[in-house]
Chains A and B, each alone.
Chain A
Amino acid sequence: GAGVSQSPRYKVAKRGQDVALRCDPISGHVSLFWYQQALGQGPEFLTYFQNEAQLDKSGLPSDRFFAERPEGSVSTLKIQRTQQEDSAVYLCASSSWTSGSYNEQFFGPGTRLTVL
Chain B
Amino acid sequence: AQTVTQSQPEMSVQEAETVTLSCTYDTSESDYYLFWYKQPPSRQMILVIRQEAYKQQNATENRFSVNFQKAAKSFSLKISDSQLGDAAMYFCAYRGSGSARQLTFGSGTQLTVLP
Complex alpha-carbon distance, A45 and B93, angstroms: 12
Contact with A along B67-110 (1 / 0, CB 8 A): 00000000000000000000000010101010011111111100
Q: How far is the CA of A40 from the CA of B52 in the complex (A)?
A: 27
Which of A41, A45, A91, A95 touches B45 (beta carbons < 8 Å)?
A: A91
Give the number of chain A interface residues (Cβ < 8 Å). Answer: 26
Q: Which residue of A lies closest to B110 (CB)?
A: A40
| Interface assignment of A16: CB less than 8 Å from any CB of chain B | no
B110 CB → nearest A CB, Å: 9
**Which A residues lie within 8 Å of B93 (CB)?**
42
Q: Kindly state the separation between the CA atoms of A31 and B33 in the bound complex, as whole angstroms.
A: 17
Distance in angstroms from B101 CB to nearest chain A CB is 7
Which A-chain residue is minimally distant from B43 (CB atoms)? A110
Select B100's contact among A56, A91, A104, A109, beta carbons within 8 Å.
Answer: A56
Closest to A104 in B: B47
Pairwise interchain contact A59-B45, C-beta atoms closer than 8 A: no
Give the docked Cα–Cα distance between A112 and B93 (Å): 22
> Do the beta carbons of A42 and B101 come within 8 Å of each other?
no
A45 and B103 within 8 A (CB): yes
**Residue of A with least CB distance to B108:** A42
B44 within 8 A of A: yes
Closest residue to A101 on the B side, CB-wise?
Answer: B97
- Do A44 and B52 have beta carbons less than 8 Å apart? no
Partner of B101 from the list A31, A35, A43 (CB cut-off 8 Å) is: A31
Question: Contact residues of B with A, CB < 8 Å?
Answer: 4, 6, 33, 42-47, 50, 52, 91, 93, 95, 97, 100-108
Pairs across A and B, CB under 8 Å, 15 listed = A35-B103, A42-B6, A42-B93, A42-B105, A42-B108, A43-B103, A43-B105, A45-B104, A48-B101, A56-B102, A91-B43, A95-B101, A104-B47, A105-B103, A109-B44
Interface residues of A (CB under 8 A from B): 31, 33, 35, 40-45, 48, 56, 59, 89, 91, 93, 95, 100, 102-105, 107-110, 112
3 tightest Cβ-Cβ pairs between the two chains A and B: A42-B105, A107-B45, A45-B102
